């Protein structure tokens, strides 16, 4: 059975493919390649995964305190504002890749 009332559908090809992953595979391959070339282990104490986890955690914490305070680190807008950055404190976070020592920013 056919219908004469159905319009013909035009197929449009996307001009640029959008990657489905948020992490670039080439970047990961480069990091792993560099780690192996330098003799850095991927897992274990001081390994690549542990270092990446540390950087990711610290970056997220910096972003969180920036959002909380309303100004970026070293921004003069925060000077004498009442609530300001007050250094960091050491904290060990237990993760799937092992314990990770991080610097947690604090405010006053």
pLDDT tens-digit readout, 29-77: 998 898 889 898 888 888 889 999 999 999 999 999 999 888 888 888 7
CA distance 19 to 47: 28
Q: Where are the domains of the chain?
A: 38-107
CA distance 100 to 74: 26
Predicted confidence (pLDDT) per residue in 73-100, tens digit: 888 877 777 778 888 999 999 998 899 9
* pTM of the predicted model over 0.85: no
């Amino acid at each position: 059975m056919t219908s004469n009332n159905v319009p013909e559908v035009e197929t449009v090809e996307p001009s640029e493919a959008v990657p489905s992953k948020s992490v670039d595979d080439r970047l990961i391959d480069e990091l792993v390649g560099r780690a192996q070339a330098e003799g850095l282990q991927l897992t274990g104490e001081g390994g690549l995964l542990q270092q990446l986890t540390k950087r990711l955690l610290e970056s997220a914490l910096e972003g969180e305190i920036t959002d909380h305070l309303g100004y970026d680190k070293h921004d003069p807008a925060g000077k004498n504002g009442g609530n300001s950055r007050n250094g960091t404190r050491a904290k060990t976070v237990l993760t799937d890749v092992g314990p990770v020592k991080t610097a947690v920013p604090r405010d006053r």
